[in-house]
Amino acid sequence: MDRNTNHTLRVLLALNAMKGSLSSVEFAHALSEGLQKSGITNIESLPLADGGDGSAAVLAEIHKASFVKCKAYDPLMRKIDSGFFLTPNRIAIVEMADASGLRLLDPCEYNPLNASSYGTGQLVQKAIDMGAHEVWLCVGGTATVDAGMGALMALDTEFYSSEEKLNRGNGEALGQIRTFDFQKTKKKLAEVSLKIISDVKNPLLGNEGAARVFAPQKGADEAMVQQLDKNLEHWARLLHCKTGVDIAQLLSGGAAGGIVATCKALFNAEIIDGAKFILEKSGFYKLARQADCIITGEGSVDESTLYGKLPGAVLEFGTIIERPVLAVCGFNALKQNNLFTGILSLANNQNEIEEAMKNTYNKMVDLGEKAGHEILNGQQLKTAGEYFEEGKTTEALTLVDEILETNNENEEALWLRVRILYKMQKWGEALNSTNRILELNPGNTIAKNYREMINNIVKYWNKDLYNP
């Protein structure tokens, strides 16, 4: 890369949506606009997803799929306009949230005991009717914790309580099942390859399971959580007896209210890591190798980001190929960051989140410009380090001072400045930079040692060596 120009710096944007604010496409546009303001113009943009809400549209764009409109029931069994995507070679890409999603309900309607995945089954049925030989089911963003009972009903599975045939599939009815017949459904799916694309690793049961972790997000209070967990445990026992498959701790089995575990037990569905699947399909791995820096992001960066979410998968590959990965988000809830090159967020604390969601696009443009300056500073710092190692101290100092003009809190740049000035024996300036480091980080023992060394040099050698 030419050390004297920004135009050859290649930045790859690999972004998830910012839920409730920006789609992945809008997110990419905003960051790209900001990066260009900073002077970075060589930008490759990949709006992506990780199996969560919005994944079907991303996969459809990659595979040139057409949208098929159809009617379906929402989580409360009201008829709505919905649909799915169909590729030219008859792969159906179904977004579970388009029929069974939390976004289809008003917050006052959230109730995973009542919510049904029936509409999702209707979409799959329509896809089969249209000749789909493969179904990719993206399972994020659902309102349901019914283990797919509703979807199975729509595909002609029959459920029975101890007294009668059940006519409603939801989280509450799941606990009433005593037996079921899924042979008609099995026959329908016999010639269909079912792939479930998930963004979480949680099992069906336990403290990290579907009820404990996700039901509260869907409107469940503690009593509901306990009932749903009990119902899921009851269903897992029935499945084990029926199929011999134990899905209680299946990796990703708790996604979308447990439908993943059910489909694995009954139809041997393939469970796919959504982030890595979409990264592969999008050509990310090739583009990442060609980039000098990668920017990833989503609405909130937290501990779960590193386990199944898109930014975590991007970070993992960036680390393997030794590319810096910068995260940009609405809110940073990661307690400690030792992995991302940096994390830039719109909100610095919980109280700022609501304000950050207003006029998000323009704020993200500004954050993109800030990210651009950080990237350029990082590249400049790398070059300065190379100059220093080559003995070109004057050139190295010039670059470091340019960085500090835009950000005088850049500790890495300050440290390199101290090393350069130490080598040039400009003790006064070195001391000033050391003191600046201690202002930013008063407990820095190394900086204290440097300060003591410089003071001793001047004190015992010649006070005239000071040249502040």
Question: Mind listing the pLDDT tens digit of every residue in the chain (468 residues)?
Answer: 343 444 478 999 999 988 878 888 899 999 999 999 999 999 999 989 988 888 999 999 999 999 999 999 999 999 999 999 999 999 999 999 999 999 999 999 999 999 999 999 999 999 999 999 999 999 989 999 999 999 999 999 999 999 899 999 999 999 999 999 999 999 999 999 999 999 889 999 999 999 999 999 999 999 999 999 999 999 999 999 999 999 999 999 999 999 999 999 999 999 999 999 999 999 999 999 999 999 999 988 888 787 778 999 999 999 999 999 999 998 888 777 778 988 999 887 777 777 767 789 999 999 999 999 888 888 888 889 889 999 999 999 998 998 888 788 888 889 999 999 988 988 888 888 999 999 988 888 888 888 888 888 877 665 555 454
Q: Which residues, in sequence order, are CB contacts of 8 under 8 Å at separation 6+? A: 1, 2, 42
Distance CA 33, CA 428 (A): 42
Alpha helices in 284-410 (DSSP H): 284-290, 310-320, 353-356, 360-389, 393-406
- Long-range CB contacts for residues 234-240, cutoff 8 Å, separation at least 24: 234/174, 234/175, 234/177, 235/147, 235/149, 235/174, 235/175, 235/177, 235/262, 236/204, 236/205, 236/261, 238/177, 238/179, 238/180, 239/265, 239/266
For residues 219 and 227, give the distance between their C-alpha atoms in angstroms, rounded to a whole number: 13
Q: Which of 46, 44, 55, 7 is nearest to 27 (CA)?
A: 46
- Please, which residues have CB within 8 angstroms of residue 140's CB and are 6 or more apart in sequence? 50, 51, 52, 53, 54, 55, 96, 97, 198, 199, 200, 255, 256, 274
Closest CA to 314 of 13, 54, 86, 22: 13
Cβ-contact 214, 257 below 8 angstroms: yes
Q: Give the separation between CA 334 and CA 48, rounded to whole angstroms.
A: 21
Domain at 376-465, CATH homologous superfamily: Tetratricopeptide repeat domain (1.25.40.10)
Domain locations along the chain: 10-47+284-363, 55-275, 376-465
Handedness of CA 362, 363, 364, 365 (dihedral sign): positive
* Cβ-contact 250, 203 below 8 angstroms: yes
Sign of CA dihedral 393, 396, 402, 405: negative
Tell me what pLDDT residue 172 has: 97
Q: What CATH superfamily is the domain 55-275? A: Glycerate kinase, domain 2 (3.90.1510.10)
- Give the closest residue to 140 by CA, choosing from 226, 29, 247, 17: 17
Specify the DSSP element, H or E, that contains 156.
Answer: none
Note the pLDDT of residue 295: 96
The CATH code for residues 10-47+284-363 is 3.40.50.10350
pLDDT at site 461: 64
Residue type for position 90? R
pLDDT (0 to 100) of residue 4: 42
Residues 6+ away with beta carbon under 8 Å from 281: 59, 62, 63
What's the pTM? 0.79
DSSP helix/strand/coil, 106 = coil
pLDDT for position 279: 95
Distances (CA, A) of 431 to 333, 387, 394, 454, 467: 36, 22, 18, 7, 10
| Cα separation, 273 vs 306, whole angstroms | 13
What pLDDT does 31 receive?
Answer: 96
**Radius of gyration of the CA atoms of the chain, in A:** 27
Contacts of 259 (CB under 8 A, 6+ apart): 96, 117, 120, 139, 142, 144, 146, 147, 148, 151, 196
Tell me which residue of 181, 117, 177, 103 sits closest to 145, measured CA to CA: 117
- The answer to whether residues 151 and 136 touch, using CB atoms and an 8 Å cutoff, is no
- Decide: 246 and 253 in contact? Cβ < 8 Å: no
* CA–CA dist 436, 411 (Å, integer): 9
Q: Do residues 82 and 97 touch, judged by C-beta distance below 8 A? A: no
| Residue 462, pLDDT score | 57
Angstrom distance (rounded) from CA 110 to CA 15: 29
